[in-house]
Structure 1
Amino acid sequence: MDHSTGGQAAIIVLFGPTGSGKTTFANVASGSSMTVGRGLQSCTKRVETTPVFLVGGRPVVVVDCPGFDDTYLSETETLASVASFLTTTYSKNRKLAGLLYFDKITDTRVGGVSFRHMNMFRELCGTDSLKNVVYVMNMWSEPIKDDEIHRENELRESDEFFGVPLAEGAQMARHQNTKESAHSIIRALLQRETTVPQISRELVDKGLKLEATSAGAVLGSKPEEEIQKLTDEIRQLQSDHAQALQMANEMYERMLEELECEELERYQALEWQIALLEGEHELDQIAREQEWEDYMYAVDASLASALSEMYLREE
């Protein structure tokens, strides 16, 4: 089946937290050079699009969205920016070929805020668009580590993470930071029917305000259990910190004790060497004195013998 859109470029939209590799993926896939953020600060302050490029002979454009944890924009501002692009696209009768959600495979802890952003993305897409969703696992080690595979399985199988959307038609893929890898992910999406995200239909067709949409409701709600989860995480971190500090102190004390023992052993060894040297010096001195006494005794004996012979000759 031909899923082309009358020669129009297929639209692939990128989502995910700051630093998860969205912009790098866009650059690698398209050959463009959008600014990539370093560390925890975001460089994508607004929705950005790549130049049109070809994947399997099909024109494609990648749209890079700021993360919901953006450095400069609030969650509401970010959602409003993304929603504005999606509604404008829908109003022009353009549908999306795919929605990619990026996640770093090296992230071992997922806090309450990250859970909220995952749920917001899911509600933004809606069930009908999940067939066009790919959860992209990024930033793998070379070679891949066992704990990364364990993390991937946890994300795939747990309903707290991607288990539910995967069961409802979403896909999961590894990105190896190469053009071939990026195009492989995009090519799979080009084989599917295009889609309209749930938030676009809610805003355009139903005329809802942003906060009344399914994604906006996730953003606006702060359930008590989520607050409790954050509190528990903070307490756990404090406990881990205190435990680490105690372990560090114990290690430091043990290190001091070991150094003390080593210094004491060195001191005792030096004392023994000094005593030995002093003893050898005294023995040498006694020996030299004895040799001198023996020499003087021999001289005296020789002199006495010579004098005795002289006296005998005179008589």
Structure 2
Amino acid sequence: MASQLSQDIKRAIENAKLKNAAMIAVMGATGSGKSTFINKASGTTEMGTSSSLESCTQTIQMSSLFKLGGRDVCLIDTPGFDDTNKSDAETLELIGGYIAGAYENGIKLAGVLYLHRIIDVRISGVTARNLRVFHKIVGPEAMKNVFIVTTMWEQLGASGSNEQVGVQREAELRTRGGFMGDAISNGAMIVRHRHNSADSAREVLSDLIKKSDPVALRIQKEMVDEGKTLNQTGAGAELNKEMDKKLKAYQKEIQDIKAEMKEREAKGIRQMADLRREIDEANRAKARIEKEKEKMDTDYAEIKERGTTGK
């Protein structure tokens, strides 16, 4: 459950395991290489990985502590907002509850990595949504502690035109308006994870830790200091906008189908089973979204209570 972090971190702090460690969250779309990056950096195979676009990260996972430049480091693996097994509301509850638990226990993240596939030809609608929600989770003040890490360079080829394609895409990311431009203007950096190697992963982390001046993320302050519900946070409001669009689309679909049914009736056509099935499917999808919106009307205290309370 989402609130498990609060208990995990509390126990870890009591054992002095995380007191001086650099905790870094690793975020990004499903299939961007988060779990693989963590395994490379930590020198373990703790995190499940997949070569497909089906998510392997079903919950928040903390890596074992490992040394980097004489300092203990702990990486937090998170699901993306395009998870194949979880709704966006469930994913936000997991991430929000987890890092709120860290903040409640006196831990500010040393930084955040957002992984992005350099092989992606364009920013898809799903990726754009991931980026918008990520921006709201972090907030402008903490963006200086963010590295946007381009991954999968090895799949472009080692030299020639393929490599140049990656360089051009990276340049586009640097100059793109919206999230990328806003992130960079607020201090985020775009860096490369080359060759999918342990040395590259650890170099990225070393550079982030050296640069980092830990501050609370926006969603940590919203949930813990301001007592906001998930849907009142910036990230929650962003997801609500997306869900409202879907609800309107399903409502229009239902209205259009009903109009078609009336047309058939006027023509004396009695076969309606196919249209009734379509209405039922649209209503079920609409109900799922409405249920997800209800789930977001919850605050950090409720998230902890629904999870493990340590009792």
Whether TM exceeds 0.5 here: the answer is: yes
CA contact (8 A) 1:44 1:65 kept: yes
Using CA pairs under 8 Å that are at least 6 residues apart, name the structure with larger relative contact order, 1 or 2: 2
Find the structure with the greater CA-based Rg. 1
| Cα deviations by residue, 1:80-125 (Å, 9 ceiling, x for unpaired) | 1001111100010011011000000001122222212101101100
**3-state DSSP of counterpart to 1:162:** helix
| Cα deviations by residue, 1:21-46 (Å, 9 ceiling, x for unpaired) | 00000000001112102211111000
Ranges in structure 1 where 5+ consecutive residues have no aligned partner: 229-315
Among 87, 96, 101, the residue aligned to 1:88: 101
1:60 aligned residue: 73
Q: Specify the code of the residue in structure 2 equivalent to 1:195.
A: V
**3-state DSSP of counterpart to 1:181:** helix
Q: Does residue 172 in structure 1 map to residue 190 in structure 2?
A: yes
1:6/1:80 CA distance change after superposition, 3 Å: closer
Q: Does residue 184 in structure 1 map to residue 203 in structure 2?
A: yes
Displacement of 1:6: 8.9
Taking the TM superposition and a 5 Å limit, the aligned residue runs for 1:184-203 are 184-191=203-210, 192-203=212-223
Among 155, 160, 168, the residue aligned to 2:173: 155
2:158 aligned residue: 143
CA distance in 1, matches of 2:142, 2:106: 16
CA distance in 1, matches of 2:157, 2:120: 16
Runs of 4+ in 1 over 3 A off after TM superposition: none
Q: Does residue 24 in structure 1 map to residue 36 in structure 2?
A: yes
Q: Does residue 215 in structure 1 map to residue 235 in structure 2?
A: yes
Among 118, 140, 144, the residue aligned to 1:127: 140
Q: How many residues align?
A: 223
1:299 aligned residue: none
CA distance in 2, matches of 1:18, 1:113: 10
Displacement of 1:51: 0.5
Question: What is the root-mean-square deviation in Å for CA atoms of aligned residues?
Answer: 2.0
CA contact (8 A) 2:27 2:80 kept: yes
**Normalised by the size of structure 1, how large is the TM-score?**
0.68
**3-state DSSP of counterpart to 1:186:** helix
Displacement of 1:195: 1.8
Of all paired residues, the percent bearing the same amino acid is 37
**Normalised by the size of structure 2, how large is the TM-score?**
0.68
CA distance in 2, matches of 1:161, 1:92: 30
Ranges in structure 2 where 5+ consecutive residues have no aligned partner: 1-16, 250-311
Among 50, 59, 63, the residue aligned to 1:46: 59
1:77/1:179 CA distance change after superposition, 3 Å: same
